[in-house]
């Protein structure tokens, strides 16, 4: 039991440090950082949608997982491609085409 509590404590410390770093970078460079954090969130939602589909086919065969995966993938791909949403794919294209 104490081993689990130690792992939770260590994970909490890592989360606090990561939040501090992201917060400081957001304060210092808000525009670029917000786009990058949004892109990371968008990609993670896509991965969650893919994981839901994998769970549906491999383990559960639950219609809920299939619907959840489909909604997640459709909504997030639309947000990543939309200029008014995250615009993540357009940001990657902009970064790759910008010369230092």
For the stretch 20-58, pLDDT in tens is 998 888 888 877 777 777 777 777 878 888 888 888 888
Average pLDDT of the chain, as a whole number = 76
> d(Cα 40, Cα 31) in Å, to the nearest integer?
15
For the chain, give the percent of residues with pLDDT over 90: 2
pTM of the complete model: 0.53
Look at residue 46 in the predicted model and tell me its pLDDT. 81
> d(Cα 76, Cα 58) in Å, to the nearest integer?
23
| 3-class secondary-structure state, position 99 | coil
> d(Cα 8, Cα 98) in Å, to the nearest integer?
42
65: left (phi over 0), alpha (psi -120 to 50) or beta: alpha
């Amino acid at each position: 039991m104490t081993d689990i509590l130690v792992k939770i404590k260590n994970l909490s410390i890592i989360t606090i440090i990561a939040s501090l770093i992201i917060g400081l970078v957001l304060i210092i460079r808000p525009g670029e950082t917000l786009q990058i954090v949004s892109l990371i969130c968008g990609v993670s939602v896509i991965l969650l949608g893919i994981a839901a589909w994998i769970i549906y086919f491999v383990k559960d065969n639950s219609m809920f997982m299939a619907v959840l995966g489909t909604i997640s993938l459709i909504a997030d791909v639309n947000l990543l491609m939309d200029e008014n949403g995250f615009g993540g794919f357009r940001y990657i294209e902009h970064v790759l085409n910008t010369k230092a």
